[in-house]
Structure 1
Amino acid sequence: MKAVVEGTVVAEAPQEDLLKIEGNWYFPPASVKAELLEPSPTPYTCPWKGACQYFTVVVDGQRLEDRAWSYPSLRDGAAERVGKDFTNYVAFWKEVRVVD
C-alpha cells in the first residue's frame, strides 16, 4: 500500500506490514520517507495511545500541516489493545491518500 500526495509516494509497504487502527492505516517507520515530514508543534494526547507527534507533509513546496502523526511513546496497554507494538508507526489524513 502507498500513502500518496498528488503522485508523490510518502510511504509504501505491503498491507500485511501495516496496522489499521480506528479506521486509519499506520505505516511502519522504515516505510515512510522521513525527508517529506517535518515535526509539528501541535499538541494532542490520545486517552489510550498516549502523546501524539504530528507532522507537516511537504511535497513539491506544498505544506500539508498535521496530515501525518505517530505515537513515539505508547501508553501502557496500547500495544496489547492493537495486538502489536505500533510505536512510531505513521498514519495520514485528508490530502494524503492511502491506496493499494
Structure 2
Amino acid sequence: MKATWNGQTLAESDETIIIENNHYFPPTSIQKEFFSSSETTSSCPWKGEASYYSITVGDKTNKDAAWYYFQPKEAAKEIKGYVAFWKGVEITK
C-alpha cells in the first residue's frame, strides 16, 4: 500500500494493518522528513488516545493529516506506533 499527498509518497508498505477501513502503516515505512508532531489529540473508546502529525510537502501543509497511537489500549496493541491518514491523503495499492 502507498500513501501519497501533493504528489509525494509519504509511506509505502506491504504490511499495513486495516482497522475501521483505515490502513495503518508501520512506523518504519513513513518518510519522516514530511511529518511534524502536532499538539492535537483525540480519544477512541477502544483504541485509546491518538496523537497527530501534520504533513508538509513543498510549500503546502496538511494539518493533522496523519494519526497514531503511542500507547494504545490492549484491544489495539497491534497498531502501536503505526500511522494512518486522512484529509486528502490517497491510499492506493
Aligned residues: 93
Structure 1 residue ranges, 4+ long, deviating more than 4 angstroms after superposition: none
Instruction: Determine the structure 2 residue equivalent to 1:55.
Output: 53
Instruction: State the TM-score, normalizing by the size of structure 2.
Output: 0.93
After superposition, what is the alpha-carbon deviation per residue over 1:64-97, rounded to whole angstroms, capped at 9, x for unaligned? 0011000000112323xxxxx1101000002210
1:46 & 1:6 partners in 2: Cα distance?
Answer: 29
Name stretches of at least 5 consecutive residues in structure 1 with no aligned partner: 80-84
Match of 2:6 in 1: 6
Structure 2 residues not aligned, in runs of 5+: none
Greater strand content: 2
CA deviations on 1:41-84 (whole Å, 9 max, x unpaired) are 112111111111111011112110011000000112323xxxxx
Question: Is the Cα–Cα contact under 8 Å of residues 51 and 69 in structure 2 kept in the other structure?
Answer: yes
RMSD: 1.0
The equivalent of 1:82 in structure 2 is none
**Could you say which residue in structure 2 is the equivalent of 1:92?**
85
Given the two structures, how large is their TM-score scaled by the length of structure 1? 0.87
Match of 1:29 in 2: 27
Helix, strand or coil: the match of 1:30?
helix
User: CA offsets per residue over residues 22-53 of structure 1, 9 Å max, x none?
Assistant: 11111000000111111111121111111111
Cα distance in 2 for residues equivalent to 1:43 and 1:77: 19
